[in-house]
């Protein structure tokens, strides 16, 4: 399965798609990236005159790349145009260390901890362009073809 096929199977679209590309993917993990455009709607109110990417959006970016893209890849043998993936986030625990500003590119690195009985659990980390740790945590969800 190609990167463009994985991204095409995502159940998101702009303005709620937070995946620009995938650099590496295997049965054990994924690395991908996204650049937050200065025109994202949430910057208008978070925060007044000092736009910062909300933590919930950073978590969503980590989930889309680190859980959903990886899950689609892991289910590749079961997916086709008639069987789109069904995904439900079931739990997350995140720690945040640095802010992400408009026009900043972030990289998500996700390592699969377990994938059984359609439940995927991953350790994720979010790095900024300098390679600094922005956030890290655990994300899990249910995946079904």
- Domain residue ranges of the chain, discontinuous segments joined by +: 3-144
pLDDT of residue 81: 61
Residue 88: closest CA among 12, 18, 142, 138: 142
One digit per residue, pLDDT tens: the chain, 145 residues? 899 999 999 999 999 999 999 999 999 999 999 999 999 999 999 998 899 999 999 999 999 999 999 999 999 888 766 667 888 888 999 999 999 999 999 999 999 999 999 999 999 999 999 999 999 999 999 988 7
Cβ within 8 Å of residue 126, ≥6 positions away: 58, 61, 62, 100, 106, 107, 108, 133, 134, 135, 136
Query: For 42-69, how does the pLDDT look when each residue is reduced to its tens digit (9 = 90+)?
Result: 999 999 889 999 999 999 999 999 999 9
pLDDT of residue 88: 87
Residues labelled catalytic: 46
Residue the block writes with tokens 């208008």: 44
Residue 32: closest CA among 12, 4, 9, 54: 4
pLDDT of residue 125: 98
pLDDT of residue 33: 98
Count of CB atoms within 10 A of residue 73's CB?
20
CA 38 to chain centre: 19
CATH number for the segment(s) 3-144: 3.10.129.10
The token pair that represents 92 in the structure block: 């997350």
pLDDT of residue 96: 98
């Amino acid at each position: 399965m190609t990167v463009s096929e994985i991204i095409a199977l995502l159940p998101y679209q702009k303005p709620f798609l937070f995946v620009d590309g995938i650099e590496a993917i295997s049965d054990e993990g994924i690395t991908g990236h996204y650049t937050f455009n200065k025109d994202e709607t949430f910057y208008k109110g978070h925060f007044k005159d000092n736009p910062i990417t909300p933590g919930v959006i950073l978590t969503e970016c980590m989930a889309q790349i680190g859980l959903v893209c990886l899950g689609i890849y892991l289910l590749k043998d079961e997916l086709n145009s008639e069987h789109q993936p069904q995904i439900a986030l079931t739990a997350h625990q995140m720690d945040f260390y640095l802010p992400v500003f408009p026009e900043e590119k972030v990289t998500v690195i996700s390592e699969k901890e377990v994938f059984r009985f359609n439940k995927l659990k991953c350790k994720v980390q979010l790095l900024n362009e300098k390679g600094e740790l922005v956030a890290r945590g655990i994300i899990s969800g249910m995946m079904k073809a």
